[in-house]
Structure 1
Amino acid sequence: MIRPLFILLASLLQHYGSEAESSHVGKFHLPSVKEQNGVQESHQEKVITVSGDGMVQSPDFPHTYPRNTAVVWRLVAPSNMRIQLTFDERFGLEDPEDGICKYDFVELEDVEDVAVVGRWCGSQSVPAGHTSTGSQVRIRFVSDEYFPSEPGFRVRYSLLPASPSEPEAPAGLPASLPGIEELSEAVAGLSTMEEVMKYLEPERWQLDMEELYKPTWHVLGKSFLHNKKARGADLNLLREEVQLYSCTPRNFSVSLREELRRTDAIFWPGCLLVKRCGGNCACCSHRCYDCQCVPTRVTKKYHEVLLLKHRSGGRGLQKSMTDVPLEHHEECSCVCKDDWD
């Protein structure tokens, strides 16, 4: 396979290469918070106030984009407007692997639905246009350290008035919404996806299953990497056993509705496992009275789940597969409470 060979060659080049090359491959950093021409930049994302037509694009478009890059734009329009997105015909990122965009990709998220609309890469076809369901959308561009491509992408955005028949979207439906809590409790007690679909639509559950997994015009990809440590000498093994009960990332179950603060939707499964810091700090190296376990490296991972929502106007349930972002702690450390505060 060409990618592993390229990785080996790239490693050799990185070892013997010039300082100029290594500086070119350096990680892209967003500047500290500032605002200019309606664009507010922070370490997390660039917030763009949409008042007319504009565009966002991969760095150096239409030429080869840099490696090791992560850029996020959040487009914010007035509450009574929607954002229309159109991709430039010139589109090309690193090709997918096994049909999944794992390495370089551009991703579109509808902020109101907390749902990934699509993730795209390669150069076979230009992504279709999209109109936001609310007044905000998020565009995310990621490239790894291999195979930068060209021309990258460009997305043009413009404003559209919300449909007159479209109900004003509430910030969050109350938890007492009739049917939501009862339905959530019933769905939580089911063991398989088939049982969920049979419970919701006894007459057409098989058709619904086919619709959920039918290939669509976008490709969603998830990649979860887990590094495994090799067993060392007995002393290393003893230390690793202690670490199991010390301050380390470990599995915790979280409720999606509570984690995402969504009272207007039901997720199945309703709980997922995440890595969060836990354990004690009995072996804390700091000389302080109160040593606490805190995360020192946090990442966001996407998990595909079934989303159930009431359609507007009481027209039944909307069922869809969606990606939900959850925070994972990858590294933890014991620190003095006074220092952390």
Structure 2
Amino acid sequence: MILPLIFLLASLLQHYGAEAESSHVSKFLLPSVKEKNGVQDSAQEKVLTVSGEGMVHSPDFPHTYPRNTVLVWRLVAASNMRIQLTFDERFGLEDPEDGICKYDFVEIEDPTEKTLLGRWCGSQPGTESHKSKGNQIIIRFISDEYFPSEPGFCIHYSPLPVSISEPEVPALPPPSLQGVEELSEAVAGLSTVEEVMKYLEPERWQLDMEELYKPTWQVLGKSFILNKKARGADLNLLREEVRLYSCTPRNYSVSLREELKRTDVIFWPSCLLVKRCGGNCACCSHHCYDCQCVPARVAKKYHEVLLLKHRGGGRGLLKSMTDVPLEHHEECSCVCKDD
């Protein structure tokens, strides 16, 4: 009878001891999650005055950073100064998905132009330095509840005096305030749909990319209705196909006798492939009546062929290998042909 009572008493003491230890840990350790060099609430910012060199970094750098963290730093220099940022070569955050930093990342925002200079994750930091347009810059670090990595990140900052020769950057209106023609020309010059999204909404372009191909109840394309595609068209591929059939160098077959104006001989093969400008200029950025595709860079290349020529006096054919020069177009451009 005594032995079971002893086991019951030991079990109760262990249970209450564990609760007391848990309470002790939560009481003394949880507040330390809030780091001195940042804040937990994304609605707040830690303002740092930039008067000399310094750094901001993920908590516990160069070790694993904590989960569920939002840190925001606003770096402020004197009005006649700019701020230069450089990543520490030690860098490691959670990997991207489909090339997009969705989970753990650090990003830099320039409040002067209200643009996002970049967002980084994975194992590759930004190699180039970044310079603010004004005297302020914002650094934001976010980690979710899964897969923290190491060593995190560290960004070094330093003040830079404004150069006297520094050109004034014209203040462009945001895309939402640009006219149709102005916006159309700006978007047409971008290479990928990602660049378009960055230009239109620099602060939320990655979210727009995630939602772009999701069908909504307002608009369901035929590809979704007929279940022929899992997602919408690949816009980058569509643009690349158009580029290939627009004003670019492409293969043409040319007759050697006509190209070289040699009607007294025979060549074999009689035709060769050369690069010549072709395609239309429907996407020509020039506002003109007649936009034509013309060579912008030309190169002369030599091709070895068989030449056949009649000998004098009916003594048969002269057969020899010979080099023939042919003109190749290596670059093409659309130009206006208006008067």
Q: TM-score, normalised by structure 2?
A: 0.44
Which gives a bigger RCO, structure 1 or 2 (Cα 8 Å, sep 6+)?
A: 1
Task: Calculate the TM-score normalised by the size of structure 1.
Answer: 0.44
Query: Which structure has the bigger radius of gyration?
Result: 2
